[in-house]
Amino acid sequence: LDDKYAWAIASRGLTYRLMGKYDEALADFTRALELDDKYAWAIANRGVTYQLLGKYDEALIDFNRALELDDKLDWAIANRGLTYRLLGKYDEALADFTRALELDDKYAWAIANRGETYRLMSRYDEALADFTRALELDDKYAWAIANRGVTYQLLGKYDEALADFTRALELDDKDAWAIAHRGETYWVLSKYEEALADFTRALELDDKDAWAIAHRGETYWVLSKYEEALADFTRALELDDKDAW
């Protein structure tokens, strides 16, 4: 094989990754790079694959290498930003998302992920601004809607939070995370039956979510359903005995 086949191998790698076959994807990206070691697109896509596997150091190495070869790859810059955020390096993440947006100011994914970074830094007004801007560009971006809902919740704007969670779930009714956070919002508003329904629905989708199980237990406790509460607290602790809630 010569380097003209690198594109086909790397494209197969991308296909494997989109199918969730990460080991096969890695093998193909690596093979393509044996044929053409300056193939920035393949290097960056291997970085994304490492990121999805939780191999953040390897991901950063690939993103850095790809950007040495082509510093205008906005999606690689943004994915390096995501990797930094997953490592808790929020300042570096912000810098990368902002740099990506200097290259493409309509990049909704990067805007929303910068918003999420701001939220994790408790910079809620900036987070809201970014989520809202992303939704102006793509009003069906369920992830951004749900994360704006969490931001509203943290600001005590519960009606706005409920509206966002409900809209996100109209777009994706299998998002256990959004369902559970809507349940938490109902709980704060003392709407315990609605909260219970949401926590239970979330757990039908993901029965190992210790956070949702514990919050459902708390809801049962408030409703004086102590046996159900005990069962949930015990189950949550079996899954995560480090959390005191």
Q: What is the pLDDT of residue 240?
A: 81
Q: What is the pLDDT of residue 243?
A: 61
H-state helical runs in the chain: 6-18, 22-35, 40-52, 56-69, 74-86, 90-103, 108-120, 124-137, 142-154, 158-171, 176-188, 192-205, 210-222, 226-239
How remote is the C-alpha of 221 from its chain's centroid? 31
The model's pTM is: 0.90
Per residue in 67-120, pLDDT (tens digit) is: 999 999 999 999 999 999 999 999 999 999 999 999 999 999 999 999 999 999
Confirm if 205 and 186 have CB atoms less than 8 A apart.
no
